Amino acid sequence: MPCGAKGKCGKCKVLFHKGAPDPTPSELSALTESELAQGYRLGCQVVLDRDAVVYLRDHGRKPGDRILTTGVTRQVPLCPLITKRFAEVPEPTTEDLRSDVDRVLDSLDVARDESATGLAQVRRMGSVLRESEYKVTGVFAGTDLISLEAGDTTSDCCGVAFDIGTTTLAGYLLDLNTGAQLAVAAAVNPQTRVGEDVISRISHTMQEADGLRHLQSLVVTEMNRLVRKLARQANVSRDRVYEAVIVGNTCMTHLLLRVDPRHLAMAPYVPAFSRSVTLDAAAIGLGISRLGRAHVLPNIAGYVGADTVGAVLATAAHESDSTVLIVDIGTNGEIVLGSRERMLACSTAAGPAFEGAHIKQGMRAAPGAIDAVWMEDGDIRFSTVSNGRPVGICGSGLLDAVVCLR
Ligand code: FES
């Protein structure tokens, strides 16, 4: 629902063949006389109070939705927070009465006073040691022992990176031993059901008693589905995914952490938090290792979020001697200009500009969207997503069309 069911955008048209209700004021202004006469109404405005036969234009998100998950990469030093070490631990004897924790830390070559071991680990350490015949792998977050696993599991050490967009979610599974990307998966952000833009989502949290919890649950459920898909693709257990790094625009990170985003919609548009957040993945219901950690990168401002920080880090613009321009055209579009000396950032609602409310036939890159337009022998040609019957035009098609027709 591009306008959050406010009856303004006209993008939720349905066709009544029988039982059309009287048009509402929104329908009278959003639809033409001819459309109203044919039986068109706005799906978000209709209250069904009689038997009806209704044809729905397909607004559903299908597997054919096109989501960009590839790009150029650059070399970065591999320095994961999570590391693993295997050790054969000496069994206790009357001459060696060290505690299980000290015995393990000594064997793993970790200074006892520099490492914290959680109570959950202390509770299960005795049985893991004895059941594995004292052959164990320690999982460390920095110097803290977060898990002890039976046997040598050092080769299975993964992390997942998420980009939570207003419209799409992308997940990347990485091998923390090598830095290799093992799998990629993407999906439509299920929060689009309650509104296509961040303002509609914020309104939902303010108008519905459980709106914030609902939006958080939608996105985490989809992220967990992606984690399962990534793990299947790479043939690794979700229990061996110990770390998640998450970016998203400021509203998306607020919703993920179930932090009230309402002040993002009110001048002067300040976020509730802007620093990076590290927490137990289980605290937000993320289905990786139950001892895994999640890191949400910092936001820059109310409408320039952690995804922009990710773009700066990925391009190393902040280390550049020359001036660099980064343009991220998503549903929210951000632009960063700068170098190692100074960086400036700003944002605007790019999705609606290219595909949304005021482009009459605009739509996302779903099956049937015109995604490219070109001239050939004096004729206009076009292609559509999934070679479907053309049903609208998405941002790339629109830009092509402007170039062709100028
Ligand atoms: S008019 Fe119905 S969603 Fe915008």
List, for the chain, all residue ranges whose pLDDT scores fall below the cut of 50: 60
Q: How far is the CA of 403 from the centre of ligand 1 (A)?
A: 30
Distance 72 CA to ligand 1 centre (A): 37
- pLDDT per position as a tens digit, 184-228: 999 999 998 888 788 889 999 999 999 999 999 999 999 999 999
Whole-number Å distance, alpha carbon 295 to ligand 1 midpoint, is 36
Cβ atoms of 136 and 228 closer than 8 Å: no
Residue 381: closest CA among 361, 66, 390: 390
pLDDT at 129: 96
Nearest CA to ligand 1 atom 1: 7
Enumerate residues lining ligand 1, CB below 6 A: 1-3, 5, 7-12, 30, 42, 44
What's the pLDDT at 405? 86
Nearest 5 degrees, angle CA 241-CA 138-CA 176?
40
Expressed in angstroms and rounded, the spacing between residue 4 Cα and the centre of ligand 1 is 7
pTM: 0.80
Cα 248 to Cα 297: distance, rounded to the nearest angstrom: 8
**Which ligand 1 atom is at minimum distance from the Cα of 357?**
4
Tell me what pLDDT residue 309 has. 96
Q: With pLDDT > 90 as the criterion, what percentage of the chain qualifies?
A: 64
Query: Tokens 């059901």, residue?
Result: 193
Cα–Cα dist 339/318, whole Å = 5
Task: Report whether 214 contacts 208 (CB < 8 A).
Answer: yes
* Run of H or E including 247: strand 241-248
Residue 114 pLDDT: 80
Mutate to test the pocket of ligand 1, among 36, 42, 59, 363 (most ligand atoms within 8 A of CB): 42
* DSSP SS3 for 145: strand
